[in-house]
Amino acid sequence: MTSNLQTPIDYLKGVGPNRAELLRKELGIHTYQDLINLFPNRYLDRTKYFKINELQRNDADIQVIGKIIKFEEIAQARGKRLVATFQDETGSMELVWFRGQKWIRESLKLQTPYVIFGKTNWFNGKFSMPHPDLELLEEHQGSLRSAMQPIYPSTEKLNNRGITNRVVNKIMQQLFVETSGRFVETLSPELLESQKLISKSDALFNIHFPKNQELLARSQYRLKFEELFYIQLQLILKNLIHKSKIKGLPFDKVGNYFNSFYTDHLPFELTNAQKRVLKEIRQDLGSKAQMNRLLQGDVGSGKTIVAFMSMLMALDNGFQACLVAPTEILSVQHYNGLLEWCNKLNISIKLLTGSSKTSSRREIHETLENGELQILVGTHAILEDKVKFKNLGLAIIDEQHRFGVEQRSKLWHKGPSQSEQNTQGKNTIPPHILVMTATPIPRTLAMSVYGDLDISVIDELPPGRQAIKTVHRYDKNRLDVFRFIRDEIEKGRQIYVVYPLIQESEKMDYKDLMDGYESISRDFPQPKYQISIVHGQMKAVDKDFEMQRFIKGETQIMVATTVIEVGVNVPNASVMIIESAERFGLSQLHQLRGRVGRGAEQSYCILMTSHKLSSDSKTRLETMTHTNDGFDIAEVDLKLRGPGDLMGKQQSGILNLRIADIIKDGDILKTARACAKQILETDPTLSKPSHNAILFTYKQMSKYRNIWNYIS
């Protein structure tokens, strides 16, 4: 009979309460299930045994058979070390322990054959092995061991307390003995066959005790596929449930607003990508289910016009629309951009931010509730409870990763039955949601983090945009850079100079910015040159005043911290200089570069750094100078920073994977998602008998947060 895998680890023979406590604290192992899913980090070849006279001075792990003939404690500067003399028929060497001596001394047997394993040191004309893996030869020959020795994740505390890799290996063997190595299959027979996957039991046995390289590779593939398959199944199901249960407002027609804008006022021909995305949005809005779509598009790809045309569909169906942006600067810019088009179509639009005056707030509240106000643009201020719509049909969130789930849910509750329909006891129908981001998300990450959203991508730039030329220059080239700036200003262009802003060192950043401002002022003196300065410690009204001067062309140079990362649109600005570029992340560098290149002229981005650069910094700078493609840049960023870092704390929980690696296993992820999709298309409730194993595992999954707690 197989043991129940939810049995606490304390009950496994060879563990006991003390070891169990350590395993819980250090590795999060509470049950048999957790132990079986503690997968090795790497494997060592244990097929070869060395003689002592064959040892080489290299860094390889080796194993030797021999006997301990004596041991002694030797005093040293701090404490003592335990030294044993170990010999075989060809010579002798030393085994050394710097900690845990008492426990080790009591367990050592003299004149008894041992197998030792570890790395050797060469000291005073002799080989020694610190903290070797020791196993009695008799036990070594009789164990469940395989030629490929698994090395498990560990901590210093576990090693110090005697829970070495060999001990973990031993308790793992005990677990397989107690469970007879039989584990419940979690995938369907068709899936195993179509993907040529080995069984669950075989995969688990060969991941811990691989018979050979091929079986190990097949086991790893099977377990990676399974982990990614269940994540995708969960996300796709969430999306399907969302579509079937959450009713959407019926946008039945494309009417006058949309058509007249398209035929009479479109400022430029839409790209094929924009047309494709608009078609996807139209299908969502007409589907009677709530739209929940993520719109990805690189800086300058034309997301705003797609967002506006989506709003026109809401207006054509008698609903209001709103656009929420994370900063005041960005919301003002969106408002100014949309205002021009709204005036042509006679559409009422207003801006609501933290600094909106009380009188205009009152007017906004009134006209929103009586339906006169058709489009509202603003910041988090829109999310306040007192902001009530008559019939909000579409909510657009820009740079959505800056908004928490709680803030997004507030928008949901601003749906149209909030007013008169609520008195009839009806529930609010949530508005359609379109979230936009100019931060390209690598495909594999988008599938995992936003796998429950429908995703649209605008992957081509509007015609007439020239690629921005990006160069890397060192501080010593500053005079050349200044000369180049003068030439550009002579041509009537404007320049950004951006300094890093890192919260922990605000004083230092402020000093850098002011030093930079002073040196630029010396080289570009008034009255010939005018310089704007913008930083986080300024009042909003002063910031806005300086921004406006630059936008109107009254100043030629804007010296700023990263407050201008999103949302400043000055087509005449053609040069972006990023100071201390090595202190910025890739996506931030890419966002900053996107502030130029908005007009028809050739634009430039100059990355200034000191000579001291880490290898990651060099990679980032090389990536920026080689490509303008945000998706390529995002892929490099993912490799450098890893998924958790890239998505921020709130989003990264789903990516705490046990065996799969979202970066290296992108192909397995795509296959797993395709399989999950195919199964749910034919059997959305997983009710077919052949899907019993998948349904059972999925239900278990709902009980436990951590996916590996239920996959077995």
Query: Residue 498 has which token pair?
Result: 């951006």
Question: Based on the domain organization, do 438 and 299 belong to the same domain?
Answer: yes
Q: Residue 367 in 3-state DSSP?
A: helix
Give a yes or no: residue 553 inside a domain: yes
Q: Residue 68 in 3-state DSSP?
A: strand
Per the DSSP assignment, residues forming a β-bridge with 86 are 68, 93
Give a yes or no: residue 42 inside a domain: no
Indicate the number of domains in the chain: 5
- For residues 67 and 116, is the Cβ–Cβ distance under 8 A? no
| CA atoms lying within 13 Å on the CB side of residue 450 | 23
The pLDDT value given to residue 679: 95
Give a yes or no: residue 632 inside a domain: no
DSSP 648-703: -HHHHGGG--SS--TTTTHHHHHHHHHHHHHHHHH-TT--SGGGHHHHHHHHHHHH
User: Best-predicted range by mean pLDDT among 97-111, 146-160, 312-326, 427-441?
Assistant: 312-326
Per the DSSP assignment, residues forming a β-bridge with 258 are none
Q: CB neighbours (10 Å) of residue 249?
A: 24
Query: Residue 199 has which token pair?
Result: 């069984």
Question: Based on the domain organization, do 542 and 610 belong to the same domain?
Answer: yes
Query: Residue 388 has which token pair?
Result: 């009530």
The residue among 564, 664, 581 whose CA lies nearest residue 624 is 581
- Alpha-helical (H) ranges within 584-628 are 586-593, 615-626
Which CA distances in Å does 275 have to 148, 257, 285? 55, 17, 15
Which CA distances in Å does 347 have to 320, 342, 403? 11, 5, 28
The pLDDT value given to residue 506: 61
Whole-angstrom Cα distance, residue 635 to residue 632? 5
Question: Based on the domain organization, do 356 and 452 belong to the same domain?
Answer: yes
The pLDDT value given to residue 705: 53
The pLDDT value given to residue 568: 64
Number of helical (H) and strand (E) elements in the chain, helices listed first: 25, 22
Question: Based on the domain organization, do 492 and 447 belong to the same domain?
Answer: no
Q: Residue 86 in 3-state DSSP?
A: strand
Q: Amino acid identity, residue 503?
A: Q
For the cut 60, the answer to whether the pLDDT of residue 565 exceeds it is no
The residue segments making up the domain with residue 271 are: 256-458
- For residues 34 and 168, is the Cβ–Cβ distance under 8 A? no
Whole-angstrom Cα distance, residue 337 to residue 596? 17
Which CA distances in Å does 14 have to 163, 167, 305, 469? 11, 9, 66, 64
Question: Based on the domain organization, do 260 and 329 belong to the same domain?
Answer: yes
Question: Based on the domain organization, do 394 and 320 belong to the same domain?
Answer: yes
For 115, left (φ over 0), alpha (ψ -120 to 50), or beta?
Answer: beta
Rg of the chain, C-alpha, whole Å: 32
Instruction: Quick: pLDDT tens for 24-55.
Output: 999 999 999 999 999 998 888 777 889 999 88
| CA atoms lying within 13 Å on the CB side of residue 59 | 0
Question: Based on the domain organization, do 539 and 577 belong to the same domain?
Answer: yes
Instruction: Quick: pLDDT tens for 656-699.
Output: 678 888 777 888 988 999 999 999 999 999 999 999 999 999 98
Which CATH number fits the domain that encloses residue 138?
2.40.50.140
Q: Kindly indicate the confidence band of residue 650, based on its pLDDT and cuts at 50, 70 and 90.
A: very low
Q: Among 311-315, 442-446, 534-538, 708-712, which is the least confidently predicted range?
A: 708-712
Mean pLDDT over residues 562-575, rounded?
A: 72
Q: Residue 560 in 3-state DSSP?
A: strand
Whole-angstrom Cα distance, residue 598 to residue 569? 7
- For residues 441 and 296, is the Cβ–Cβ distance under 8 A? yes
The pLDDT value given to residue 191: 96
**What letter does residue 431 receive in the DSSP assignment?**
P
- For residues 560 and 496, is the Cβ–Cβ distance under 8 A? yes
Chain position carrying tokens 């005018």: 530
Q: Report the percent of the chain where pLDDT is more than 70.
A: 90
The pLDDT value given to residue 417: 58
3-state SS of 450-489 is CCCCEEEEECCCCCCCCCCEEEEEEHHHHHHHHHHHHHHH
Question: Based on the domain organization, do 452 and 561 belong to the same domain?
Answer: no
Q: Kindly indicate the confidence band of residue 427, based on its pLDDT and cuts at 50, 70 and 90.
A: low
The residue among 317, 284, 445, 288 whose CA lies nearest residue 392 is 317
H helix or E strand, kind and range, residue 558: strand 557-560
**What does pTM read for this prediction?**
0.66
- For residues 386 and 412, is the Cβ–Cβ distance under 8 A? no
Q: Kindly indicate the confidence band of residue 651, based on its pLDDT and cuts at 50, 70 and 90.
A: very low
Question: Based on the domain organization, do 66 and 5 belong to the same domain?
Answer: no
Q: Report the percent of the chain where pLDDT is more than 90.
A: 47
Which of 439, 458, 477 terminates a domain? The answer is 458
For the cut 90, the answer to whether the pLDDT of residue 652 exceeds it is no
Give a yes or no: residue 565 inside a domain: yes
The widest CA-to-CA distance across the chain, in whole angstroms, is: 98
Mean pLDDT over residues 154-179, rounded?
A: 90
Where would I find the beta strands (DSSP E) of 183-334? 292-297, 320-324
Give a yes or no: residue 4 inside a domain: yes
User: Best-predicted range by mean pLDDT among 232-236, 415-419, 576-580?
Assistant: 576-580
Give a yes or no: residue 489 inside a domain: yes
For 676, left (φ over 0), alpha (ψ -120 to 50), or beta?
Answer: alpha
Which of 627, 660, 695 terminates a domain? The answer is 627
Question: Based on the domain organization, do 196 and 276 belong to the same domain?
Answer: no
- For residues 319 and 249, is the Cβ–Cβ distance under 8 A? yes
Whole-angstrom Cα distance, residue 66 to residue 678? 58
Whole-angstrom Cα distance, residue 511 to residue 636? 32
Q: Which residues of 48-68 are buried (b: 16+ CB within 10 A; e: fewer)?
A: eebebeebeeeeeebbbbbbb
For the cut 90, the answer to whether the pLDDT of residue 246 exceeds it is no
Give a yes or no: residue 656 inside a domain: no
Whole-angstrom Cα distance, residue 251 to residue 693? 40
Chain position carrying tokens 């900690």: 99
The pLDDT value given to residue 578: 94
Whole-angstrom Cα distance, residue 600 to residue 468? 11
Whole-angstrom Cα distance, residue 62 to residue 93? 13
Whole-angstrom Cα distance, residue 290 to residue 449? 20
The pLDDT value given to residue 543: 83
Instruction: Quick: pLDDT tens for 589-614.
Output: 988 898 888 777 899 999 999 888 99
Give a yes or no: residue 270 inside a domain: yes
Where would I find the beta strands (DSSP E) of 53-193? 61-75, 80-88, 91-97, 113-119, 121-123, 126-130, 133-136, 148-151
The pLDDT value given to residue 145: 60
For the cut 70, the answer to whether the pLDDT of residue 644 exceeds it is no
Question: Based on the domain organization, do 698 and 680 belong to the same domain?
Answer: yes
Which of 438, 458, 478 terminates a domain? The answer is 458
Which CATH number fits the domain that encloses residue 533?
3.40.50.300
For the cut 50, the answer to whether the pLDDT of residue 648 exceeds it is no
- For residues 676 and 234, is the Cβ–Cβ distance under 8 A? no
Whole-angstrom Cα distance, residue 607 to residue 596? 14
Question: Based on the domain organization, do 172 and 226 belong to the same domain?
Answer: no
Instruction: Quick: pLDDT tens for 255-297.
Output: 999 999 999 998 888 999 999 999 999 999 998 888 989 898 8
For the cut 60, the answer to whether the pLDDT of residue 504 exceeds it is no
